[in-house]
């Protein structure tokens, strides 16, 4: 009886493990497909997606965030400067894939 219970529990654990691995592989392959299908060129897909300088005339709501040194910085303090905000997550494959381009943009515009 004890041996049957152990075999039954082991079979359930193996089944759960196989299901988890299969589901994870399917979700990561879909995420990688999304990354491969994104537009890698510097040109917009079509003219309607092109952003023109000063084309947005609404004011952003003022908010505060902490910089890398822990100092609070408000958006209003940066008035007149170019501001690039990117909210991302380390577990997000598309977010990770865009980091080299963001680093290049930073190196080109850091002054």
85 φ/ψ sector (left φ>0, alpha ψ -120 to 50, else beta): beta
- Single out the residue of 41, 38, 31, 36 nearest to residue 93, CA to CA: 31
Q: Which two tokens stand for residue 13?
A: 């654990």
Please, which pLDDT band fits residue 109 given cuts at 50, 70 and 90?
Answer: confident
What mean pLDDT do residues 30-45 have? 52
The pLDDT assigned to 72 comes to: 93
pTM score of the predicted model: 0.39
């Amino acid at each position: 009886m004890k041996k049957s219970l152990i075999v039954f529990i082991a079979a359930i654990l193996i089944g759960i493990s196989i299901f988890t691995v299969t589901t994870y592989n399917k979700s990561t392959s879909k995420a990688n497909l999304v990354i491969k299908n994104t537009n890698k060129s510097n040109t917009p897909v079509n003219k309607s997606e092109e952003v023109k300088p000063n084309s947005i005339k609404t004011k952003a709501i003022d908010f505060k965030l902490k910089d890398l040194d822990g100092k609070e910085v408000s958006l209003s303090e940066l008035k007149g400067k170019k501001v690039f905000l990117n909210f991302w997550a380390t577990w997000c494959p598309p977010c990770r894939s865009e980091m080299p381009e963001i680093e290049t943009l930073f190196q080109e515009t850091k002054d």
